[in-house]
């Protein structure tokens, strides 16, 4: 493959706020594949309750089954201890060899990038692709990161495929798209309360949640 994007997250559950922005990123960068990577044991959520990896992996497979360019990796299933992105990226590249690779994350995670394990090294290893979350975008987002990080930002415009050179420093690509007002924390609470979340969570995922009584 020529271009592959790795999209990390807990996906607990996967929802429109993951799927539609991932499609926009694939279009903006001409990605041959977007590989969803459910987290094994995310460092920022140590001690927090989380649905088992098996269910999160299954739901992500169900959520992406209608998109031929979307795939799901179980790479972090067997990892011990906190699963750091800096350690996963080389393994993902070996599993999905490509001429150019990107790591996809939301803008809410990007503003916290300096809290990531070996974050500065990560920014020398792979291009980042930042998706528009409704909680953080624009000038305020860039003010939250060091100036040298903000200087690497390039903006992908809707309807145009952005060419990102492999020479020079790794770029940080901001994908402009309408933000989706959906958050997994809120969706879990609504499901627990018996409220309808149809339209925000794929039907196949809702069926899985109902069958196994998740979030109840």
* Residue 46: predicted pLDDT: 60
Sign of torsion, CA 150 179 38 90?
negative
* Residue 45: predicted pLDDT: 64
Total structural domains within the chain: 1
Find the domain containing 128 and state its range. Answer: 3-211
Residue 108 included in any domain? yes
Q: How far apart are CA 195 and CA 19, in angstroms?
A: 21
Cβ pair 1, 31 in contact under 8 A:
no
Cβ pair 187, 13 in contact under 8 A:
yes
Q: What is the CATH number of the domain that holds 116?
A: 3.40.50.620
Range 183-190, long-range pairs (CB < 8 A, 24+ positions)? 183/17, 184/10, 184/11, 184/12, 184/13, 184/15, 187/13, 187/15, 188/12, 188/13, 188/215
* Residue 96: predicted pLDDT: 96
Cβ pair 1, 30 in contact under 8 A:
no
Parallel, antiparallel or unpaired: strands 33-38 and 153-156: unpaired
* Residue 179: predicted pLDDT: 87
pTM of the entire predicted model: 0.94
* Residue 78: predicted pLDDT: 77
Low-confidence ranges of the chain (pLDDT < 50): none
Residue 216 included in any domain? no
């Amino acid at each position: 493959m020529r271009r592959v994007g790795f999209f990390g997250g807990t996906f607990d559950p996967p929802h429109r706020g993951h799927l539609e922005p991932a499609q926009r990123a694939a279009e903006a960068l001409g990605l041959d594949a977007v590989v969803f990577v459910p987290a094994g044991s995310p460092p920022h959520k140590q001690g927090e309750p989380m649905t088992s990896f098996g269910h999160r992996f299954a739901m992500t497979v169900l959520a992406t089954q209608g998109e031929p360019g979307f795939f799901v990796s179980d790479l972090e299933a067997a990892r011990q201890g906190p699963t750091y992105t800096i350690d996963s990226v080389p393994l993902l590249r070996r599993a999905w060899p490509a001429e150019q690779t990107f790591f996809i994350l939301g803008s809410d995670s990007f503003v916290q990038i300096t809290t990531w394990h070996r974050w500065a090294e990560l920014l020398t290893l792979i291009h980042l692709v930042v998706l528009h979350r409704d909680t953080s975008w624009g000038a305020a987002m860039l003010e939250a990161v060091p100036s040298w990080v903000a200087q690497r930002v390039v903006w992908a415009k809707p309807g145009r495929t952005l060419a990102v050179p492999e020479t020079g420093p790794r770029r940080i690509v901001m994908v402009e798209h309408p933000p989706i007002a959906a958050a997994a924390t809120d969706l879990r609470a609504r499901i627990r309360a018996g409220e309808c979340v149809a339209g925000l969570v794929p039907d196949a995922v809702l069926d899985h949640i109902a069958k196994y009584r998740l979030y109840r």
